[in-house]
Each structure stands twice: as structure tokens, then as C-alpha cells.
Structure 1
Amino acid sequence: FIDYYKNKRGITIKDLNQPLLSAKRILRNKPEEEQKERYLIPELCQVHSISASVYRSLEILPIITSHIDIMLTAQDVKQLLKLNMVKDSLMAEAYIASSADLDISYQRLEFLGDSVLKLISSTLVFTQNVHSNEDALTESRISMISNKALFETAKKLKLYQYIYSQHVSRRFWRPPHFKTDSDSEQMTKSINFHKLSDKTLADVIESTLGAAYYSDSSLSVALHAAIQLGVPLHNVRVWSDFHKTFQRPLSRYDATLREVDVQRVTDIIGYQFKDSSLLVEALTHASVPVSSVPCYQRLEFLGDAVLDFCVTIYLFRKYGTAPPGQLHNLRKSSVNNNILSVLCVNLKLHGHIRHASDYLVSEIKYFVEQLKNAMDTTGEYWLDLYPPKVLSDVIESLIGAVYTDCGFKVEPVINLIERWLEPLLEEHISLELIQTHPVEKLK
């Protein structure tokens, strides 16, 4: 040691009788068992004025201050949007980007908020465009809730100021407005500014809606949040306004009602319609010529959004810790055409569809035979089957009919789905049973 310090460092050790100190250098990138013991000369050491225990405590200061910052920012957002009814923890989560590399991010709430926004916008365009067909309704909805529209809304509200997107680095962390002499201009800029994609801004609109709904499991709160966020809802201010403003075109359906066994279908689905013509419309295919009843396409458009919302709520609550990617896969498996077609046949609704197509007769018959041979298989046994789309359409249109008949309330639909669909999901859909696309596996 004496020769080493003299030859390499030009230092002469004065006290030759002092003992060596055995020490370990603590390295974060190596486990403790791999860190070698080192020997130090006391004469060349200095006692730091900050003890090791205090230093260890200070190491978590960046994490503590960042969490305080997140919670205070959530309060600012609530004040900006006048959403005091939203829980602080959920509002904070709604503005944490995955790039922050924290235990939580907005993605689960965005998954939930996406279905909430789809339901609100679908109900709006359905009730305010009573003569528009499915394509026109879809186009109107897209103009309201596309990523571009949501991005512009978020930008107008300057929500980018509230998004927490940067990973907390103890090495480069600085207190607010603090700068050391060694900090370069580039480092200062990277600390004080963050880059956000257009989609991130669009996502926080949906995550805010998800937080609003989940705070009280209330669509009324979610609707209020949508209004405060600037989603164009025209003269709708409370949820009951959808029913009040809806003026369904009047038609004479008396003769058509006799073509459907209304009581039998009512018994099957477990809902008593106030307006039976909605049930007939939900069962009427576009192939029926010169019908006084419109086909089911408008109700199918609405029912698709309602079903998507109800299944999302079911999955969100059942899989409370599942990451958003798994939730998306579960939802895809739970509401696709194949599983809804199986449900239609299981309920024996396929025999009550009004249509005028020999092709549909043979296609439905063939699918029913396929289904009989596949039903003993576990998991998603329906994936290799080829059902006619009319079967899944009828399930969605019936859901839309019930939702419309009850004044645009989701509770009756949730009750139906609990009886119709959840037993099928419980038995055949789970994280272990669903088939993941090869591309998803590579991700």
C-alpha cells in the first residue's frame, strides 16, 4: 500500500502503525454478494458530515417529492375541470403516463374511459339523429371521439401541463427551479421540459372519464366530466336528457307485431318491453322487403356500445390488477361475433329473426350443426366456426332495444348480461384460456 500510493498517487503515508479499514463499495448494479471487500487507509479517509442512515433516507426524497407533486397536480386538475367528486387517487392515476415508469399509469383508466366515451357519444348521436342510418351514426361518433378530436380538446384545456411523464432519476433529480453549476443547458432542458405524443393527450381525456366513472360507478358523474372536458354534447346536461330529447319516429307496427312471438322472445330474454315495436325492430333483418319496421342496424349500432361498456365494467372489476393489454385481449374474446353468435343460438333466438333470405336459412342451420359438434371443447371453442353475422347483430340490437325502451339506463342491460353472457364468460374466458394472437405474444 505504501509503495502503491507513493508511486501511483505521489502520496506518502505518515503513520505506518495505523490499522487498515475493511469496507465495501455499495454498487446499485451488482448484488451484494458480488461486491468485493476493499481495504482503506484511515489517514486518507474523511468522515462525511452526513451519516449513512440520513443519506439513505435522502435517497428516497425524489420519490417522495414526485408523489407529492402528483397528488397536488391532481388537485389542480380537479379544480380546473370542476370535478371535486372524483377521488384524488383516481385523478392522479389518470395523469400518470407509462413513461414515468411508476407502479401505476393511466392505461387501465383509459381502457375504462374509452368504453364510457363510446357509450356517451353513441347514445347522443342515436337520440339526436333519429333518421340517420348506421353508417351516418358511426361517422358522427367518429367526428366526436377520434384521437384527433380528443387531442384538440386536451390541447385547448392545456392538459399537457398536468401529465406526469418522466421517470424519476435519483442521479439527475433536482428540486424545483434548482440548478447546479455543472448542469448543462441540455440537462436543464430535459429536466424542465417533457415531450408528449398526440395520442397521450387524447388518452388522458379517456382516462379522466374513467376516473370520473369509477369514483362513484356513476354515468352521471362521467357525463358531467365529459361536459367539463369539452366533449360536444349539445343540449345534454344530465343523463335523463337523452330520454327527454329522443323523439322516435312513429310508425304503425300492429300487423308486423303478429309476425313475431313477442311473448316468447320476452320470456327468453327476461325483459318486458313497454314498446314491443322495439323488439320487432331488433329482430328485423335488412332482407325483409317493404317492411313498415326498420331493420335492426340502428339498434345494433347502439347495442354494440352498450355491450362494450357493460363487459368492460365486468372485466375491470373482475381482473382488478390485470394490465391494460390483458384487459383488451379479454374484451376482444368476450364480445366478438363468434361468442355472440353462440349466445344467440344458446338462447334459441335464431328462430325468431325476421328475414327473407334462403341463404341465411342455410347458413344459420349449418352453424347450429357446427356448434353441436364443438360444444364439448374447453376454452374458446367457437373461434374456428364461421357464424353468419346476423346472429351476433341480433344480440347487439336486442341490447340496444332494451337500453332504448328503459329510457337509456344501463342497469337493466347489466342484469340481462349477467344472465345471458357472464355464465359463458365464467366457463370459457379467462387469462389462462383465451387464445392470444401470435403478434401479441411477440409483443
Structure 2
Amino acid sequence: MEPINIEIDGTQQQSAAALLVEEATQELASEPYDDQQPRYVPPELVKPWCSNDASVLYHCYLIQMKPNFCSDIPVNDIVLGMRSELDCDVANMNFDLGVGKSTITVNFKKAAEIHLSSEQILQCRRFQITIFRILMDHNLQKLEEVLERLSVGQNLEVESIDYLLLPAARMHQRPFIIDWECVMSVPFRSEENSEYHVDSSPPNNCSRVLHTKNGMVCTCRIQNSLVYTPHTGLLYCITGLLNDLNGNSRMRPRRRRARTYKTHYEEKHGIKLRFDQQLLLKGKFIFKVQNYLQSCRQQTEKDSSHTSVELPPELCSIVMSPLSVSNLYSFSFVPSIMHRLESLLLAVNLKRMVLDRCTENVTIPTIKVLEAITTKHCQENLHLESLEALGDSFLKYAASQQLFKTYQNDDEGDLTEKKEKIISNAALCKLGCDCKLPGFIRNECFDPKKWIIPGDYSGSSFLNEKLPFNEKNIYIRGTRKIKGKRVADVVEALIGAFLSTGGEIAAIYFMNWVGIKVDLFHIPYERHFQVQPEKLIDVRHLEFLLNNYSFRDPSLLLEALTHGSYMLPQIPGCYERLEFLGDAVLDYVITAHLYHKYPDMSPGLLTDMRSASVNNICYARTAVRAGLHKHILASDSVLHTDIANTVNNFGSLSAESTFGWQSETSFSEVLADIIESLAGAIFVDSEYDKNAVFKSIRPLLEPLVSPETMPLNPVKEFHDYCQKMQYIMKKPVKSIQNGVATRTIEVEANGVVKYTYTSTASNNDTAKRLACKEFLRLSKGN
């Protein structure tokens, strides 16, 4: 399918454009999308293993972690070794991980380039597989199998996840950036110090040796080690010796009779300690790998990693040594860190794909692209909702002005129909899928259990499929379900990302790239008014109300105030076309104003603020406050009655607010239409100057909403409250009889109907709002 092209000059091409839009609509209707979409893996993380290479170049980056809280366990740096050099704004990224009620700040820093031999790479992989398998599985059952697979896999030419995660050397170990002593701790070999064990003479700097499952081991090797106790199947990190405890010491009271450790192991486990004079070891439980990227991470169970245990050395089998508790603790954060890096690299590749042939000077921060492809389901501290709201408003604005200037003889209904064919979710989903966007979308909460350990030659780590992108490959790891609306949301959010950082030129570039051909060039609006506006409306007074905007063509002002019922031969049209245009312009300028004025607002707040500012009730109230209803040209007596009733009803509301959610009565939509048509008139008269529209209409809308003054939308509050209380919302019952709308909402809790409420109003929206407000009043009152 060719892109939807509506970039047309002149009326001669209108039929071609209309035919193209119609073809696009028919194709959308005949080709529904399967929600099974690919999951992309950044090529920077994928390299084939080449066993014949004498050495391999790795670009090393230091992952620095700084806790923003007090901890008895220090956090060490980690070395990330990549076969590809990272993009600049990724190589210097920083972000926070949520740890309890505080955070750890993560910084990336380019460190060095090193060459590693195939033997060194194999040892590094063995180390990282061992430490991550232990952290993720908390047992050794899978480890031996995985390490055996590693020995086989190293001789295969396969494409899989390939990078290194290694402990960083401490300052006194420099100039090396990698702590090779720790890396070489896998597998632990007690025979390395066998010469000291034969005659029981301690090695240099060691005061004694201990009997372990591995034989006699120096205390210096066991005090910073990871051990396994076969009688319990548990793993512990040893942090030192307990100088005042041995097998004959009494155990600390634990709600049971006092007994020695020796007695305890004999009675509970049937084990007789042979070396009961040996000092006990101080151990800590293994840390749990968690998702530290969640914005509101709940600690559902007590963390046992801070609890110390006493262990007889002879019951311990050393798995890794030397390995400090700090290193083990630091590596527990790595899966979350690497998930964020993988996400950023996806954003980098998407950005490159979009800008590959861009001749404009467009610079888009990678973090903004990441924000645009991250949905709320990821439960992270960034997601696309704010950018989606911004992009949605700009998309409607760009499409509306393009259609308005292209189809100058079409009425509002035809323009709206054409616009919906361009901006509908189905159309955006189609365009997004044609551009291969779904594979970049992040729509799942990170599950550390599904994280692929680099170098782990298990089935899920092999990537056999790939797609050519810009003369490069991007790899596919399985499929997942993505709803069509999610794809549409991401298209809108990417428009917002390009708009917020690169301006309107960048946003138009992206829209053209994705297949929506629009421009923002001014085309003169052909008009054939034969009447003098001053004879029908008070032009000067209306200009005064519009912040003293002076119309070049006052007939636009006349058109903006003319209802369809007021048709004179000298007035060829009513306000509806200008309303179509002004609706989109107002939506965009208000949304952009809120987005830029409150840059630190939480994701999603822009959506709520936009809804509070851009709605028909708000506009109708504004029209009444300014007295614009007195200037509407209409010959419909029913309309005049509706306007009069609206004016009376709004008189009972507070004069301090223009927000419409407080209204419990209906209103005449013509009043809202007039605000939008006036905005459209100013936009056309000023030759598409959005700032002129905002400057003229803003005083009428004051005070604009702010995070502090934004009222709660009762409908949204109703849904949020039911979700929080785990209520089940039944499908509402709606009906309209004799011009009266009735709406009944019903809520269940534990299979029992908890609330039922029916409201009536002159339209469905008001009835729904009233029903939700009453439900909230009753439920919170109880």
C-alpha cells in the first residue's frame, strides 16, 4: 500500500486525493492485523561466537552504582564488555533503580578497549553464567547442565546474545579494569593450595585452615566465598568467621530449648560434626533478583538476604572464591540495568531507521524515543501517555489544516470523515505495521526470570531469524501479542517525541516517513461573501473580546458566528468548516502549552489536564462568560431556547472556573462550537498563525488548568476507584426516550451487587457523569 498522501496543491488534484483516501480505507477494512507481533533484539547485543579468533576486541563500559540510602553492604562497579561500540547518548546514560523506598543511581562510563583470547572469553562466560544462575535459580541443579552446554556451544557458529558482565577491579588492583581473580573463581579448586593442606601449615597471611566439603581450605579463601550446604540445598555468601562460636557453642535462643550447634545438627539432620572445634562461618542468604525498574515496586515479602546464619565449615562446599558479598549484591541489580540498556538500544535502532535518509538537521534524544515506545504495562517511571497526548493533538491539527486547505468545497461532515480515515487507530496501526514498528514496542513488565544470561547456550538464547534494516540486521526473539491500538498509540507518541524535541519540522518529517503526507504551508482560503460583516455583527466589540485581535477579513468573523439555520443569499456558508479547523488548532495549542509549561509532570498527567481544558462544557461556559452567545446568528427557535437554558444553568456554577466536569446540567453544543469556529477564523485570517489563536482565545479560557487546580474527572475517578477496590464494573445500561438520556451503572464486589445507580439528563455524557459522581459520593460516604 502506498502512503496516505494528502499533500495537494489546487482543486484539480482533489479527486486523486479523495480516491487515495478511499483506497486506503478499503484496504484497512479488508486486511485486519494479527496481534502476534515480533520481538526485536538490538544487533549490538548479538554476535556470533568465533572459536577461531585469536583475540576479540571488547569495548568496556563501567556501570557505576551509587546508593541513595545507607547500607551495610557496599555496591561495587560492574564492567560491561561489548563487541559493538555504544551510541553516544547511551554510553553516557544515567537512571535510577527503585530499591525499597529509595533508589540507586546508575551511571555508564566508557572505560577502555581490550582484547581477550578465546580462553579468557570462555572463562568470563563461565563466571557470569554461574553467578547469574545462582542469583536467579538459588540452586545448583541447572548450573552444571548449562556449563556443559557452554563447552559445546563455544564451537558452534551461532547468533546469540553476546556481551560480558564482570566484576570491576578495585583501585589497588589497577591498571586492570576487570577483577580477574574473582572471574577465575569458577570453578573453585581447593587443590590450588594443596601444598599447605598436606602438612596443615598455613599459607602466607593465613592464620589457619578449615575442613570443608572441598577438603582443607585456607580461611582467606572461604571468608569471601559462595558456599553450598548439601544437607539443606541452600546457597550462602560467607562474610567472615565467628571468632566466639564453634560447634560446641550454645545456639542463640529461638523459642526452643537451649542446645549446641553439634546437638542441633545431629537431632535435626542426623549429621555428626567431626570438627566441632572449628570456628563457625557467618553466612548470608543469596540476594533475590528483582525488577528494580518498576515505578512503584512493592516489597511483598521480607527480604532474608539481610539475615545472618551460622554455618559449620565442614558442611559447606565452596562454589566460588574469592567472591565478596558486595559483588554478589551488585550483580543482583544487573538484569534490570541490562533490560534498560536493551530498551535504549531498541530506541537507538528505531531512531536510526527513521532518520536514515533524513536531510534535515533533526536531533532526537534516545530517551524520548524510548519513552514513546514504552507502554504503561511496563510499570516503569516513564511511559508514552504524555507524548501520545501531545502527538495526538498535533496529528489532528496537521491533518485538519491539510484537509481544510485542500478540500475547500467540502463541508464539515466530509472533512471529518476524511480526517477519521487518516487518524483513526486502524489507519495508524496499518501504517505502523507497514513500517515494522511493533517489534520495537515495549508492552510487558520486565520479568527477571525471563532475562537471557549472555553466553548461556540455552534454547531461548539463539536468534535464528533476522530482518534487514538499513543494510543492517535486527534480530527477532519470538513473538508476543500487541493490540492494534497499542501500535496506534506508539505512532502518536513518536510524533510527540519528534515534536517535543525537534519541533514541528521533525514531527512533520516523522509523519511523512510513517506514511501521513502533510505540510504546514499556507494556502489562501477562497471566499465569496457578498455582504458587509459590520451590518450583521459588531466586529469591533468581538475583536475586543478576542484580546483585540484585528481581522484582515472580517467576513471570517461573520462566518464563525453564523449557524446553519441562518442562511442568507449573501452568506454562502455557516461556521462548521471553521469549527472543524479551530477544534484541532485549539486542542493542539492548549496541549502544547501544558506540555511545555509543566515539563516535570508525571506521565499521564498531561492527558488529564488536556481533558480538563479541552472539552465542550469548558468551551460552552467560556462562551457564556464572554457573552458570545448574544452574537450568534441563528433562526432556530429551539436553538435559542437551548442557549437560554444553558445560560441560566451555568449561572449557578462558580464564576472562578471554566472547567466543565463540575456541571450537572446539559448545555447547547453550539456555544462550544462557536469558540472553536472563532479559533478557526483567527487561524485562517492570520495565515495559519497558531500563536495568534492562542493569544486571542486564551484570555477567554482563563484560568487555565494547572496540576494544583485540576479537578478530578468523575468518570475517570470512578474507574480508578473500582480498580483500586477490585470492584467489577458491569456494562452500563443506556437509553434515550423523548430527548431524555438514562444511564444505570452497577458495581459488584465478591459476586454481590454492591451499588446500583440510575441518572437522567438531556444527553448521555451528562447522565454518565452524574451517575459516576453519585456512586463516588455514596461509596466514599459508606
TM-score w.r.t. structure 1 length? 0.86
Q: Which residue of the other structure, out of 400, 411, 416, is the alignment partner of 2:691? A: 411
Once the 2 structures are TM-superposed, how far is the Cα of residue 71 of structure 1 from its aligned partner? 2.7
2:437 is equivalent to residue 156 of structure 1: no
* Higher deviation after alignment, 73-82 or 15-24: 15-24
Alpha-carbon distance in structure 2 between the residues aligned to 1:393 and 1:429: 28
2:679 is equivalent to residue 399 of structure 1: yes
Residue of structure 2 in register with 1:72 after alignment: 345
2:478 is equivalent to residue 193 of structure 1: yes
Q: Equivalences for 1:383-394 in 2 at 5 Å? A: 383-394=663-674
Going from structure 1 to structure 2, the CA distance change for 1:230 and 1:320 (only over 3 Å counts) comes to same
Once the 2 structures are TM-superposed, how far is the Cα of residue 424 of structure 1 from its aligned partner? 5.1
2:510 is equivalent to residue 225 of structure 1: yes
Residue of structure 2 in register with 1:278 after alignment: 556
Q: Which residue of the other structure, out of 277, 287, 304, is the alignment partner of 2:583? A: 304
Q: Which residue of the other structure, out of 311, 330, 333, is the alignment partner of 1:57? A: 330
Alpha-carbon distance in structure 1 between the residues aligned to 2:417 and 2:487: 22
Q: Which residue of the other structure, out of 231, 249, 261, is the alignment partner of 2:538? A: 261
> 5+ residue gaps in structure 1?
none
Alpha-carbon distance in structure 1 between the residues aligned to 2:720 and 2:447: 31
Going from structure 1 to structure 2, the CA distance change for 1:424 and 1:325 (only over 3 Å counts) comes to closer
Going from structure 1 to structure 2, the CA distance change for 1:197 and 1:42 (only over 3 Å counts) comes to same
Residue type matched to 1:38 in 2? V
Equivalent pair of 2:372/2:490 in contact (CA under 8 Å): yes
Q: SS at the partner of 2:309?
A: strand
Alpha-carbon distance in structure 2 between the residues aligned to 1:172 and 1:333: 41
Alpha-carbon distance in structure 2 between the residues aligned to 1:165 and 1:332: 25
Once the 2 structures are TM-superposed, how far is the Cα of residue 366 of structure 1 from its aligned partner? 3.1
Choose between structure 1 and 2: higher helix proportion: 1
Once the 2 structures are TM-superposed, how far is the Cα of residue 121 of structure 1 from its aligned partner? 1.0
Alpha-carbon distance in structure 2 between the residues aligned to 1:165 and 1:338: 35
Residue of structure 1 in register with 2:500 after alignment: 214
Residue of structure 2 in register with 1:439 after alignment: 719
Q: Which residue of the other structure, out of 689, 700, 712, is the alignment partner of 1:420? A: 700
Residue type matched to 1:230 in 2? G
Once the 2 structures are TM-superposed, how far is the Cα of residue 292 of structure 1 from its aligned partner? 3.0
Going from structure 1 to structure 2, the CA distance change for 1:117 and 1:254 (only over 3 Å counts) comes to same
Once the 2 structures are TM-superposed, how far is the Cα of residue 316 of structure 1 from its aligned partner? 2.5
Q: Which residue of the other structure, out of 419, 433, 448, is the alignment partner of 1:170? A: 448
2:606 is equivalent to residue 327 of structure 1: yes
Equivalent pair of 1:284/1:354 in contact (CA under 8 Å): yes
Going from structure 1 to structure 2, the CA distance change for 1:440 and 1:296 (only over 3 Å counts) comes to farther
Q: Which residue of the other structure, out of 257, 278, 288, is the alignment partner of 1:18? A: 278
Alpha-carbon distance in structure 1 between the residues aligned to 2:699 and 2:656: 22
- Quick check: which has more Rg, 1 or 2? 2
Q: Which residue of the other structure, out of 109, 119, 122, is the alignment partner of 2:400? A: 122
Going from structure 1 to structure 2, the CA distance change for 1:131 and 1:389 (only over 3 Å counts) comes to same
Once the 2 structures are TM-superposed, how far is the Cα of residue 402 of structure 1 from its aligned partner? 0.8
Choose between structure 1 and 2: higher strand proportion: 2
Once the 2 structures are TM-superposed, how far is the Cα of residue 64 of structure 1 from its aligned partner? 2.7
Alpha-carbon distance in structure 1 between the residues aligned to 2:661 and 2:418: 36
Going from structure 1 to structure 2, the CA distance change for 1:253 and 1:345 (only over 3 Å counts) comes to farther
Q: SS at the partner of 1:171?
A: helix
* Higher deviation after alignment, 167-176 or 282-291: 167-176
Equivalent pair of 1:363/1:388 in contact (CA under 8 Å): yes
Alpha-carbon distance in structure 2 between the residues aligned to 1:175 and 1:298: 59
Once the 2 structures are TM-superposed, how far is the Cα of residue 14 of structure 1 from its aligned partner? 1.5
Q: Percent identity over the alignment?
A: 29
Equivalent pair of 2:432/2:491 in contact (CA under 8 Å): yes
2:427 is equivalent to residue 142 of structure 1: no
Going from structure 1 to structure 2, the CA distance change for 1:301 and 1:376 (only over 3 Å counts) comes to closer
Alpha-carbon distance in structure 1 between the residues aligned to 2:714 and 2:367: 34
Equivalent pair of 1:59/1:170 in contact (CA under 8 Å): no
Once the 2 structures are TM-superposed, how far is the Cα of residue 276 of structure 1 from its aligned partner? 1.2
Q: SS at the partner of 2:310?
A: strand
Alpha-carbon distance in structure 2 between the residues aligned to 1:131 and 1:227: 25
Once the 2 structures are TM-superposed, how far is the Cα of residue 136 of structure 1 from its aligned partner? 0.9
Equivalent pair of 2:287/2:329 in contact (CA under 8 Å): no
**Looking at both structures, which has the greater relative contact order when contacts are Cα pairs under 8 Å and sequence separation is at least 6?**
1
Once the 2 structures are TM-superposed, how far is the Cα of residue 85 of structure 1 from its aligned partner? 2.2
Total equivalences in the alignment: 430
Q: Which residue of the other structure, out of 373, 379, 398, is the alignment partner of 1:95? A: 373
Considering only aligned residues, what root-mean-square deviation do their CA atoms show, in Å? Answer: 3.2
Residue of structure 1 in register with 2:627 after alignment: 348
Equivalent pair of 2:609/2:705 in contact (CA under 8 Å): no
Alpha-carbon distance in structure 2 between the residues aligned to 1:315 and 1:153: 28
Alpha-carbon distance in structure 2 between the residues aligned to 1:205 and 1:405: 32
Once the 2 structures are TM-superposed, how far is the Cα of residue 8 of structure 1 from its aligned partner? 6.7
Residue of structure 2 in register with 1:315 after alignment: 594
Q: Deviations over 1:393-427 (max 9, x none)?
A: 1001000111111122211112224322132546x
> 5+ residue gaps in structure 2?
1-260, 289-299, 466-475, 724-782
Equivalent pair of 2:344/2:366 in contact (CA under 8 Å): yes
2:310 is equivalent to residue 39 of structure 1: yes
